[in-house]
Amino acid sequence: MNSQRVFGVRLYTRSRNKYVILIPRIGRRIQFLNSTYITRFFALFRMTRNKTASNYFLFFFSLIGYLLICYTTLRINFTQVITLFSGLFLIYYFLIKRLQSDREINVGIGVGMVFRLSLLFCIPELSDDVYRFFWDGMIYDSGTNPYLSTPTEIISQLKTENYQLTTIYNHLNSKEYYSIYPPICQYLYWICFKLSNNTILGFSISLRFIFILFDLLNLVLIKSLLKRFNLPAKNILLYWINPLIIVELIGNLHFEIIMIGFILVSIWFLAKTNWIISAITLGLAVSTKLLPLIFLPFLFKRLEFKKWIIYCLLTGLVFAGFFIPFYDIALIQNFLSSIDLYFQKFEFNASIYYIIRWIGFKTVGYNIIQQTGMGLAIITFLLIIYLAIKDKSKDLSGLPFLILTSLTIYFLLSTTVHPWYICTLVALGIFTNLKYPILWSFLILLSYYTYSSQPYSENFVLVSVEYVLLFGYFGYEAYFYKKYHSYL
């Protein structure tokens, strides 16, 4: 009988052309009759007992996984989505455990870059947001302000049929809403539309190329900040080869990748005591996504009062300055109405909000999102202020922890939590000893079940599984992580 070990664990034996899979600790054996495919699979593993060779074996299967999920997988096929993602995360787990030396880390970085470049020519299939990006760039190129007219209003005002507008319009998921994307996004939409030759593929390639360049900046900044905060260099791989980061930010083209970059630049300049440039770059982050505004309270004790006021003003001026080309009397009203809709109408993969909504149905008989959504936003703001008041440290190394905690509170109290939202937690979590963002980056993929039916319908069993496991692990880490104790 021939016994084999994989990753140091005795997984199977071969006897008389039969494979016996050994389940550690349980001791049960599942016997498979001789199969050409099984034979070839384990033969391939036998050739990879050398650590370096087996790493490249894992890299190869990861690459195949990324190609399959981004080029051939529709989000309505939940089984395929979750199977491929599960395989990618399993390999990710093994790679994080195995890539330890400086040489191995550099190889991992290089392979992560290969994963990104392999997705250069795909059109996002797991998200339809790219069509709204294309739409905003297209109408801005035609001289129309994307903040002043909804797609439905533009289509209804057409005097003659426009095939391209109509085709893109049919793919939009927010036809009735004004654009909610801040100005830096709009500029990039316009630039990529100009480079796209009026095609979604050309637009996707242009935007993805910009995103890959930005992610290289993120790579450099993360490595620099890890060194600055005396953290292990291998932490970079937690971000760089995380499947959620690669698929959602590079594959599905979500702008968190730009926001993360500007946040990291802002922290980097703060570390260099150049708070003016830090304020400007935070303004760029807010001009990409509004979320970084909630970080400002944590800078109060790290800057003198006068510097903090100037810091906030500079951030606000940069944000307002990018809106100047779009300025119109109706802009502020329309933009704020879109934000209001986010808190009072949109619902997806929520946690605490869904419990409150269920209580509302039981007590008053209808959805209380209009009251609850804004109420939870106010509670989030108050909790962030509480964290800022309780924070006693002026050390910059504690800033990522505070930002991570504030974002976690925001998402746990939010009415809408899409998978790509968690990418920011993954990026910030590598500067702490907390691993729950990594767990959440996998668990949140269960939310893709929603898209497997028409009309979209959430599976609340899967939502419960996601958050029960998340809260359980979060509670475990919070109990043992000393920094949390000072805020209780």
CA distance 283 to 315: 4
Work out the average pLDDT over 33-55. Answer: 58
Q: What digits encode the pLDDT tens for the residues 199-254?
A: 999 999 999 999 999 999 999 999 999 999 999 999 999 999 999 999 999 999 99
CA distance 426 to 403: 12
Whether 43 and 137 share a structural domain: no
Whether 148 and 32 share a structural domain: no
3-state secondary structure of 134: helix
Whether 343 and 437 share a structural domain: yes
Average pLDDT, the chain: 88
Whether 135 and 36 share a structural domain: no
Q: What digits encode the pLDDT tens for the residues 57-87?
A: 999 999 999 999 999 999 999 999 999 999 9
Q: What digits encode the pLDDT tens for the residues 239-293?
A: 999 999 999 999 999 999 999 999 999 999 999 989 999 999 999 999 999 999 9
φ/ψ region of 350 (left if φ > 0, alpha if ψ in -120 to 50, else beta) reads beta
Q: Which two tokens stand for residue 366?
A: 């209808």
Evaluate whether residue 86 is within a structural domain: no
Evaluate whether residue 112 is within a structural domain: no
- How many structural domains comprise the chain? 2
- Give me the count of residues in the chain: 488
Under a CB-based contact definition with an 8 Å cutoff, are residues 377 and 287 in contact?
A: no
Choose one of 32, 47, 62: the last residue of a domain.
Answer: 47
Evaluate whether residue 31 is within a structural domain: yes
pTM above 0.85, yes or no: yes
Whether 1 and 149 share a structural domain: no
Evaluate whether residue 110 is within a structural domain: no
Whether residue 32 is predicted with pLDDT greater than 90 in this model: the reply is no
Least confident of 102-106, 170-174, 351-355, 380-384: 170-174
Whether 39 and 137 share a structural domain: no
Residue 334 belongs to domain spanning: 129-485
If one compares 83 and 12, the residue with the highest pLDDT of the two is: 83
Work out the average pLDDT over 150-160. Answer: 85
Look at residue 24 in the predicted model and tell me its pLDDT: 40
Evaluate whether residue 417 is within a structural domain: yes
Whether 139 and 230 share a structural domain: yes
CA atoms within 13 A on the CB side of 341: 12
Whether 433 and 319 share a structural domain: yes
Evaluate whether residue 79 is within a structural domain: no
Confidence of residue 162 (pLDDT cuts 50, 70, 90): confident
Backbone angles phi, psi at 3, to 5 degrees: -105, 140
Reported for 151-157, long-range contacts at CB under 8 A and 24+ positions apart, including other chains, are 151/175, 151/176, 152/176
Evaluate whether residue 376 is within a structural domain: yes
Least confident of 200-214, 322-336, 465-479: 322-336
Whether 448 and 331 share a structural domain: yes
If one compares 329 and 415, the residue with the highest pLDDT of the two is: 415
Whether 29 and 137 share a structural domain: no
Strand order in the sheet with 9-15: 2-6, 9-15, 18-22, 29-32
Confidence of residue 371 (pLDDT cuts 50, 70, 90): confident
Evaluate whether residue 66 is within a structural domain: no
Biggest alpha carbon–alpha carbon distance for the chain:
81
CA distance 443 to 460: 14
254: nearest Cα among 315, 200, 204, 179: 204
What are residue 15's DSSP bridge partners? Answer: 18
